[in-house]
């Protein structure tokens, strides 16, 4: 099978961590497992056309809170940016694919980043971000639009 048959019309140019904060707190040791919760959001930072090429940047935000017996154990705030382009998609398709494919790519990169940083920071076991249902995240974001409760608007 030839790679050109399966190459996407959306091209991933790269990513960067635009914000990262890990805060740990001192708590008494316990044999109880920590309660780890996640919150996700995203925002299209830029989607524009230049000549025959669409260029876009999407931000993916991850917030992690861990508690142990109702005491804060650690928090993580991460904003990962991804840049994408297309020379063949129309504007609507580009924006749609920027969100869907961008979130998929950035969620995997963010998962690896969080797992690596927490392992190197002495958090044991390291934080493993759950797999993301991108379709549900997009639907939830659409429902919340206009309610003012999405942190990255």
Report yes or no on 56 lying in a domain.
yes
Q: How many domains does one find in the chain?
A: 1
In the block, tokens 């309610």 appear at 147
CATH number reported for the structural domain that contains residue 117 in this entry? 3.10.420.10
Report yes or no on 95 lying in a domain.
yes
Per the structure, the complete domain to which residue 101 belongs is given by 9-142
pLDDT digits (tens, 9 = 90+) for 28-42: 877 788 899 999 999
Cβ contact 153:61 at 8 Å: no
Report yes or no on 149 lying in a domain.
no
- Output the CA torsion sign for 133, 59, 115, 105: positive
Report yes or no on 148 lying in a domain.
no
* pLDDT at site 2: 76
pLDDT digits (tens, 9 = 90+) for 125-149: 999 999 999 999 999 999 988 654 4
Percent residues over pLDDT 70 in the chain = 95
Q: What is the mean pLDDT of residues 116-131?
A: 94
Report yes or no on 61 lying in a domain.
yes
Close Cβ partners of 26 (under 8 Å, ≥ 6 residues apart): none
* pLDDT at site 31: 76
Cβ contact 50:43 at 8 Å: no
């Amino acid at each position: 099978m030839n790679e050109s048959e399966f190459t996407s019309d959306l091209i991933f140019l790269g990513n960067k961590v635009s914000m990262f904060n890990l805060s740990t707190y001192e708590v008494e040791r316990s044999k109880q497992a920590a309660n780890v919760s996640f919150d996700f959001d995203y925002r299209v930072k830029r989607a524009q056309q230049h000549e025959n090429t669409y260029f876009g940047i999407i931000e993916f935000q991850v917030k992690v809170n861990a508690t142990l017996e109702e005491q804060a154990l650690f928090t993580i705030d991460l904003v990962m940016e991804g840049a994408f382009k297309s020379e063949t998609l129309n504007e609507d398709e580009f924006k749609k694919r920027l969100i869907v494919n961008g979130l998929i790519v950035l969620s995997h990169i963010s998962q690896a980043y969080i797992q690596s940083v927490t392992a190197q920071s002495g958090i044991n076991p390291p934080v493993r971000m759950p797999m993301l249902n991108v379709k549900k995240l997009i639907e939830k974001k659409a429902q919340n639009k206009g309610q003012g409760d999405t942190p990255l608007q």
